[in-house]
Amino acid sequence: MTRAIIACVAWLLYSPSINAVERVRGGLILHEVVGQVDLKELGKVATRLRVGQMPITTMGLIECEAHSGSSAFFTASNRTAIYFEGGGSFAVERFEQVMPQLSDWNTDTAEASQSWMILNFREGDLIVDNRNMLESSQFLVETPIGRLATKGSLWQMRILFERRSQIFDFTITCAEGRVRFTDLQG
């Protein structure tokens, strides 16, 4: 009986290490900027970007603000492409992924490992292509009017805020895949 208990305890201690995976913060590459765009990494001062500075590689937690008519184009280590046009702002609040094998990441255009990404989109025009993400990955967008959850999709959202009336106007367009919007009342 004692041997059976010791064997069970040893198996329980050993089994989590078999399934353990290393989670890392994802990364972003800013490829193109048009107009006045400010980029701020977590805990750092905002930087006004210029055309000659591209590409810029950054860890995944950023805030991006673009003036009206200005835009920025990003790609992420989870194979998501993000195009943002102002006036307005968005932030990547969470971006974690299972550490991919470098050989897998270099040879395939699909996401190499599971990821979790949360954007906070306040105002402007956001176009996201996450068709190359794994089905098990999660991509959420928090907005002042609700939350979007997307899977394997190419979609766009525009949020306009009318300052006089304090009313948000928004549109969501999904060209491919699945986008689920839940307003603040659920």
More confident: 160 or 5:
160
Tell me what the mean pLDDT of segment 16-24 comes to: 64
Give residue-wise pLDDT tens across range 89-143: 999 999 999 987 766 666 778 888 899 999 999 999 999 999 999 999 999 999 9
User: For 21, what's the count of Cα atoms within 13 Å in the CB-facing half-sphere?
Assistant: 12
Q: How many CB atoms lie under 10 A from the CB of residue 66? A: 26
Q: Is the pLDDT of residue 2 over 60?
A: no
Give residue-wise pLDDT tens across range 32-59: 999 999 999 988 888 888 777 889 999 8
Tell me what the mean pLDDT of segment 51-76 comes to: 92
